[in-house]
Amino acid sequence: MSVLAKMALITGPLVVLAARFVLVPYWDEADVYIREVADHPGRSDLGASLVIVGAMLLVSGVLLLARLVSVDHPRIAVTGAILGVIGCVGMACVSMATLVAGQMVRIGDTDASVALWERVWNSDKLWPIMTVHLGALGFIVLAVGLFRAGAVPRAASVLVGLGGAMTMTTAAGPIRPLLIIAATIALVGFVWVAPAISSVRPAVHAG
């Protein structure tokens, strides 16, 4: 695969990491979260937008990891890819809700924004949280496939699985250092795996 493919593998977790330095993490207490967004609406929007871009780029990374795994374990690759892509979509949806919060606070009525946010987030947060946990499972599945295939150093497989799963499960926050640590672990794992991308061999089918 080309240098462009290696860049696609690394860019997703890199953008997600950058986003986590900027975004306003979710808090279970609606009033705390909305007031933080109200204090920094531009930063909140920028962080959320970067997460959405990073999540979409991460789809490419998931598919490249699956391609590595598919050489020896095609079923594991397909399972991990499907779950991983679902998780990336879920992460993007969580950040879309953040963009909604950013528009709410611009109304100027913080109390009304808090009440509206409680209704919006608490009424429909189950499915995006479920999807990011499915994504976490997808990264673990892909890491197991990488580990078993021996296509990359085993430590790299562990970092991909651990970092990817943590990045997914921390998509909604709320502890910034944990968000940054999770994305950093994922980035290190992806960078470590990148050299193996150029040596992936096509699957051979009997026929």
Q: Which amino acid is at 178?
A: L
pLDDT value at residue 191: 93
Euclidean distance between CA atoms 97 and 49, whole angstroms? 11
pLDDT at 204: 38
pLDDT band at 2 (very low <50, low <70, confident <90, very high): low
Give the residue-averaged pLDDT of 128-135: 91
Which has more confidence, 74 or 107?
Answer: 74
Q: Which residue has the higher pLDDT, 172 or 102?
A: 102
> Model-level pTM?
0.87
How far is the C-alpha of 207 from the C-alpha of 100, rounded, in Å? 54
How would residue 5 be classed by pLDDT, with cut points 50, 70 and 90? confident
Tell me the C-alpha distance between 41 and 22, whole Å.
11
The share of the chain scoring above pLDDT 70, in percent, equals: 91
Given pLDDT bands bounded at 50, 70 and 90, which one contains residue 200?
low
- Considering only CA atoms, which of 91, 98, 97 is closest in space to residue 40? 98
pLDDT band of residue 207 (cuts 50, 70, 90) is: very low
Q: Where are the domains of the chain?
A: 3-197
What is the distance between the alpha carbons of residues 77 and 164, in angstroms, rounded to a whole number?
Answer: 15
More confident residue, 121 or 53: 53
How far apart are alpha carbons 205 and 207 in whole angstroms? 6
Helix (H/G/I), strand (E/B), else coil: 14:
helix
